[in-house]
């Protein structure tokens, strides 16, 4: 019996190592104690449970909210159900920023959900800025292996002093490791967490080809299981105070397990449609933090030889066209 008990304990520990840190058990916070409405009047609605929120975009306005506290590192998460049907031009954003405090040298960590025309999938775009480095976009764009309008799915950001990891349903989809070559371009100043829905007609769907059609409004994003698990910063003293267990959870979450790394590889192989690291029209030489994977580069070149093969874009009259766009490219775990 003792031998069996020891074996079960060992298997439990081994299973945790193989599967990695799970984000499902993070402490959930109520809206009233942790967030403030940013804009949108009645287009933001908090359910009676105090932990679920509805954000609406209509002809009048979008809507959004922001965390009451600033954070320097942490785990930030929400389960989100996106608007269904025709959603071209609609943007739902779950992101961290300090742009209201540092107008010219702000930091940002973005999850952006980009709507689409009927019959086409929502896409997710991730991006980071550090110290106002908006001239160097670090976007990646992917499809999902499920329909994000049918049910709630968990989207999470891990931010530490050395890592940024984006997760979908506990699957890491992108990892950014801080390198010396990035300098100040790695987000390093305290940030608030924002969640918004807004009209991105000028760029969100096929570079602005399809805009929001308010005939299909209202567009409603539903959120629950809101998590702010990190190190809040006093705005006056500028000293971070971490939640109970947050330090340990941050360290555990940034260690991607072998099975999680396999899942991340599968996701990127099947679903990633754009990465700045391979965009040869935009960056003739990959930015220094990029880890270029030959198989990944080849797959993207086949998918879009103009963007990823360095072939110059041309106008219909044959002249070269040079245009920097925030959105590039299009494509189950």
The residues annotated with a catalytic role in the active site are 108, 112
- In the sheet where 35-39 sits, what is the strand order? 35-39, 63-67, 192-199, 90-97, 108-114, 123-129, 140-142, 272-275
CA 153 to chain centre: 13
Q: Read out DSSP for 121-181?
A: --EEEEEEE-TT-TTS---EEE--SS-TTTS-EEEEEEE-SSEEEEEETTEEEEEEE--GG
| CA-based nearest residue to 232, from 97, 69, 98 | 69
3-state SS track over 291-333: CCCHHHHHHHHHHCHHHHHCCCCECCCCCECCCCCCCCCCCCC
């Amino acid at each position: 019996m003792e031998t069996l008990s020891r074996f079960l304990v060992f298997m439990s520990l081994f299973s945790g190592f193989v599967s990695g840190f799970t984000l499902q058990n993070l402490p959930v916070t109520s809206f009233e104690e942790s967030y403030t409405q940013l804009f949108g009047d009645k287009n933001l609605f908090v359910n009676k449970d105090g932990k679920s929120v509805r954000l609406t975009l209509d002809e009048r306005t979008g809507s959004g909210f922001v965390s009451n506290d600033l954070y320097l590192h942490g785990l930030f998460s929400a389960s989100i159900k996106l608007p269904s049907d025709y959603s071209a031009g609609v943007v739902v954003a779950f992101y961290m920023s300090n742009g209201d405090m540092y107008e010219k040298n702000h930091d940002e960590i973005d999850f952006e959900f980009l709507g689409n025309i009927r019959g086409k999938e929502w896409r997710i775009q991730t991006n980071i800025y550090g110290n106002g480095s908006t001239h160097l976009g670090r976007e990646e764009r992917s499809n999902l292996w499920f329909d994000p309008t049918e049910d709630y799915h968990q989207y999470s950001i891990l931010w530490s002093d050395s890592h940024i990891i984006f997760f979908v349903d506990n699957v890491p989809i992108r990892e950014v490791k801080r390198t010396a070559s990035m300098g100040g371009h790695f987000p390093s100043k305290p940030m608030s967490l924002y969640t918004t829905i807004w009209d991105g007609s000028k760029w969100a769907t096929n570079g602005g080809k399809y805009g929001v059609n308010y005939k299909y409004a209202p567009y409603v994003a539903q959120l629950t299981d809101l998590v702010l698990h990190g190190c809040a910063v006093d705005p006056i003293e500028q000293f971070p105070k971490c939640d109970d267990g947050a330090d340990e959870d941050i360290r555990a979450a940034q260690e991607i397990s072998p099975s999680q790394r396999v899942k991340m590889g599968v996701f990127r192989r099947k679903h990633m449609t754009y990465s700045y690291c391979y965009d040869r029209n935009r960056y003739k030489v990959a930015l220094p933090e990029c880890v270029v994977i030959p198989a990944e580069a080849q797959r993207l070149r086949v998918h879009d030889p103009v963007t990823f093969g360095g072939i110059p874009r041309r106008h219909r009259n044959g002249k070269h066209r040079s245009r920097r766009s925030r959105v590039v490219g299009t494509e189950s775990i």
